[in-house]
Structure 1
Amino acid sequence: MKKILSIIVAAAIFTGALAAQVSADVADKCYKILEESQDIQAYHGDYSATISLVVEKPGRPKENIQFKVFDRTDKKLMTIVQLFPEADKGKGYLRNDENIWSYDPISRKFTHTSIKEALGDSDVKLDDVEKNNKYWRENYEIFSYEEGTLGKYPVDIIVLQAKTKEPSYAKTKLYLRKDIPLPLKQEDYSGSDRLMRTTLVPKWSKVEVRGKVGYVATQLIVRDELNKGEQTQQVISDLTFDTLPDKIFTKAYLEGLN
């Protein structure tokens, strides 16, 4: 059954890629916009940050979750450690290239998982946290492009179709400011074009890293479009860009925290 499902998914991705409607020149323009956006964001090389999530679900009290993230963006190395709530403290995730594990400190066991896994009970996924400079060209075809307005900002609107299994969603629509190519909104769709998730980025902060000015999305709101009223607010703090020790990106590091 798993093999059949994999074939179906692969066929759907392939068919979607063939449906791309833009010329090579427009596609290259879109990739350059996305790469410029990635370049002016401050996540290059090593960085660490605290990610605080407030999860809202109808009929339930708000849930607060907190993680520490360590990322080496040019090597596909990432370690995430849960800080709060106390009952889940020490749980973690480790990425080394294409290998991704979740770690349970109680059983002290690592389990292979996916970049599409959610952080705790939130609407934020592991691939939302990871920053990879080659992500767009490696994983997407450009499906469409247009110019528009979002609020007070003129924007480039780029629709991408997944061409690998890496992205969590089959299609993604991005709204990027024209003056500074920062994403203000992202819509994620299923293979049948159903809106699954909307991400809003209301706050960008300017920082200086190694003598270069960059931008950091310090607040995001992720809405689950299938379950109305369900959303996760993400706030980033304690951001540093110091070179991280190699040991942080090992299983022994996670095991040694408890």
Structure 2
Amino acid sequence: MVMTPSDSHSVNRFLHFNTQRTEATPHVLHFRLKPLLVVFIALLLLFLYKPAQAAENTGEDNIARETLTRADRIRFPDEGFQVDVTITTTEPDTAEDVRTYRILSKGNSHTLVQTTAPAIDRGQILLMRDRDLWAFLPNLSQPIRLPLSQKLTGQVANGDLARANFTGDYNPKILRSEKINDESYQVLQLDAVDNSVTYRKVLFWVNAKNNRPYKAEFYALSGRLLKTGYYQEFLPLGGETRPTKLIIEDSLRRGRRSVLEYNNMVVRDLPDKIFTKDYLKKLSR
């Protein structure tokens, strides 16, 4: 076969085109491999970062839980105890309301709240077992089931007396640190473990040096701030230095507040039988 000049020209063009493609191939491969390399590195970094982040979060969670536990122990004893509480409620253009209660508590799962004044309400009893709360009234034969979040008196909810410790009811995390009056505070965000607890969320200020509670903000399910509590007058009570006064201010209606004063705290062994419905039916009559 004899190659004509025309054929020779076509072959040269073909060889030149394929040579260009061959020379360009490494660049094409490099262009295609570069995004894959970036993705691989990103996935590798993410894989390495997640365990480190999880370890860091676990460490912070442990610190938050320990801080919350220590603050709760300052507020109330771990073991069984008895304490008297006077609640004074003030509202604009309304006469001051004073009520007294005796609280018997065994850990954070068994609590008895007895109304001791005024005389008209004497004999009313709240019984809490775990997160179940019942009210025993002298004029009713059967107890009434109540939510912890329901108002007891003034700015005080049932759970503020019957289940006052935060540990176990809320998952804590460290939100931030704050400086107040030259004192350092850890601000804990406490998220409710479920809908049965008293509040949806609590922000809790704890002194970073001595773990004393300073302030708490209580939030509704909607995220709205309901009220703010201030822990004051740290004095010897029940064998430890504790806040003997809690001031709760209504964040929705200005000028409304309740002051809780704790007295006569005694650490004591409490029998299980007093935390039963049958026993309280007799006691409330």
TM-score bracket, normalised by the shorter chain, equals 0.7 to 0.9
Q: Which residue does 1:57 correspond to in 2?
A: 91
Matched, 1:35 2:69: yes
Query: Counterparts in 2 of 1:100-111, with a 5 A limit?
Result: 100-111=133-144
Task: Please state whether the residue corresponding to 1:65 is helix, strand or coil.
Answer: strand
Q: Percent identity?
A: 19
Provide Cα deviations, 1:193-213, integer angstroms capped at 9, x if missing partner. Answer: 32111000112223464xxxx
Aligned partner (choices 213, 217, 220) of residue 183 of structure 1: 213
Q: Which residue does 1:250 correspond to in 2?
A: 276
Matched, 1:84 2:117: yes
1:73·1:131 contact (CA, 8 Å) conserved in 2? no
- Measured in 1, the distance between the counterparts of 2:144 and 2:79 equals 27
Matched, 1:205 2:235: yes
2:131·2:196 contact (CA, 8 Å) conserved in 1? no
Alignment-mate amino acid for residue 148 of structure 2: I
2:237·2:265 contact (CA, 8 Å) conserved in 1? no
Q: Which residue does 1:125 correspond to in 2?
A: 157
Gaps of 5+ in 2: 1-55
Task: Please state whether the residue corresponding to 1:62 is helix, strand or coil.
Answer: strand
Matched, 1:216 2:242: yes
Provide Cα deviations, 1:19-62, integer angstroms capped at 9, x if missing partner. Answer: xxx93332222112112223344412210111110011221100
Task: Please state whether the residue corresponding to 1:127 is helix, strand or coil.
Answer: helix
Shift of the alpha carbon at 1:128? Answer: 2.0
- Measured in 2, the distance between the counterparts of 1:71 and 1:215 equals 19
- Measured in 1, the distance between the counterparts of 2:257 and 2:164 equals 25
Aligned partner (choices 215, 231, 250) of residue 257 of structure 2: 231
Q: Which residue does 1:163 correspond to in 2?
A: 193
Alignment-mate amino acid for residue 66 of structure 2: K
Could you say if the C-alpha distance between residues 246 and 192 of structure 1 is closer, same or farther in structure 2, counting changes exceeding 3 Å? closer
Gaps of 5+ in 1: 1-21
Q: Which residue does 2:50 correspond to in 1?
A: none
1:42·1:207 contact (CA, 8 Å) conserved in 2? no
- Measured in 2, the distance between the counterparts of 1:140 and 1:80 equals 22
Could you say if the C-alpha distance between residues 184 and 78 of structure 1 is closer, same or farther in structure 2, counting changes exceeding 3 Å? same
Shift of the alpha carbon at 1:183? Answer: 0.9
Q: Give TM-score scaled by structure 1 length.
A: 0.80
Aligned partner (choices 151, 175, 195) of residue 145 of structure 1: 175
CA RMSD of aligned residues (A): 2.3
Could you say if the C-alpha distance between residues 207 and 32 of structure 1 is closer, same or farther in structure 2, counting changes exceeding 3 Å? same
- Measured in 1, the distance between the counterparts of 2:83 and 2:238 equals 15
Matched, 1:172 2:172: no
2:115·2:122 contact (CA, 8 Å) conserved in 1? yes
Task: Please state whether the residue corresponding to 2:253 is helix, strand or coil.
Answer: coil
2:245·2:260 contact (CA, 8 Å) conserved in 1? yes
Bigger radius of gyration, 1 or 2?
2
Larger RCO (CA within 8 A; separation ≥ 6) = 1
